[in-house]
Structure 1
Amino acid sequence: MRILSFGLIGLGAALALTSLVSPAAAVVTFDQSLASGWYQGAGTSNGHFAVDTGANGVELGLRASIRFVGPITPTGNVYFAPTGSTPPGRALWNFEFSVNPGSYEDTYSLLTITGPGGSLAFDPTQISDNKPTGGSFDQNSENLGFAFLGGPINFNPNVSGIYTFDLKLFSSEDALLGGVSIQVNAIPEPSTWAMLILGFAGIGFMAYRRKSRPAAITA
């Protein structure tokens, strides 16, 4: 179990902070590999990130993935993920991030997660296990089923919902160095949809048969 070792920043304070800085020039691309490489998560590979490449080596990345399978191929910056859970209440999908400050020092990040049940904002680089061994940047694969993430936004892995993830990097002087965002649409698995369609088709066929059956002849 992960332990929350940092203070959560209120969403209002986060929005106020970002409104004080001017946007940084950035190049945001979708469905890309990280130039920094991907080093977190056993068996997972690079690719399918929304990436912001900034000045002086800054690179920010966000994506969604299926747990124990691999990254989801997005449509633009939108990722479609299945609803459902595995014990103990983990979603079937993860969100994954990478923060490379390049040559900047004393930077800090802000990751804002917004879902149907609320919002949460915090600095993901302050989670102790987010720095790859020997790396000068931070990465991890996280799950909204973790209590410290899902609790504040009332996350339910078995309910459909739209979740936005917005990642920003700031200098020690609060200048915005880069930002990238993605949207995850959690919907029932395709097999569930198929069963529902077959069910509706069956109901329609039975109704048709009843309608087309000749009326019984009465004496």
Structure 2
Amino acid sequence: MHRLKSLGLATLLIATSTAPTLAADVVGSADASFVNPQPSGATVTGVGTNAFTYGDGNGFGTGPNSLTFAGVGFSTAFETPFKVGTLSYFNGTTAVGTAPDTIDFDLATTFTNPALGLVQTIFTLGLVITPNGGVDPDADADYVNLPGTFTPSIFNIGGTNYTVKLVGFENVVGDGFLASSGTQLHVREGLSATADLFAEVTSDTSGTIGGVPEPSTWAMMILGFSGVGFMAYRRRNQSSALGVA
């Protein structure tokens, strides 16, 4: 059993090491701010910044819900998910009816190569506040929901139109979990979590949101491509041997 596990791990490491490295089509950095909470009468702070709180937490001892985004630099190929930053999410206890239902996530991607400069795309995030039953912590978890559609900001590179779209959350750390193929980040009541947010520079400018493949899916894809390459190599060797004979 241990030998089989070792062989499987070795195969995965070989496949990973031999996988082709994709050239960077675009290079730049990402940042974001939270704008336009709806409904407008909700209790909020930090609108227009990267640190946003919502809901009236007075009297509950935990403080309001909060979202903070920290952007990062990127260097990526087209049609390839890449990290734009990390979202920190605190699920506070707040009074019913004081939190907004949505917040616009204004993603600012600054492209240095090619020199497109600033491209801003707004995604309307759903802010779902669940009633606290006190029995199932997962059922009590509030969550952030990526939109199914958005209005793309279209730019042209080399004669092809592209847009930046969000594709999902990954790498949750803390008291949170993913649902709905990575488009919902849930955090348990009174607790915090962080998750990386992924985007894609894509020629699909239809304005629909997709999902990030799970790590296991990437591994299976790599192994599949490795297996196809090995079979092709074996067939070539067999054909050469027959020709010499």
Normalized against structure 2, the TM-score is what? 0.29
The one of the two structures with greater contact order (alpha-carbon pairs below 8 A, sep at least 6) is 1
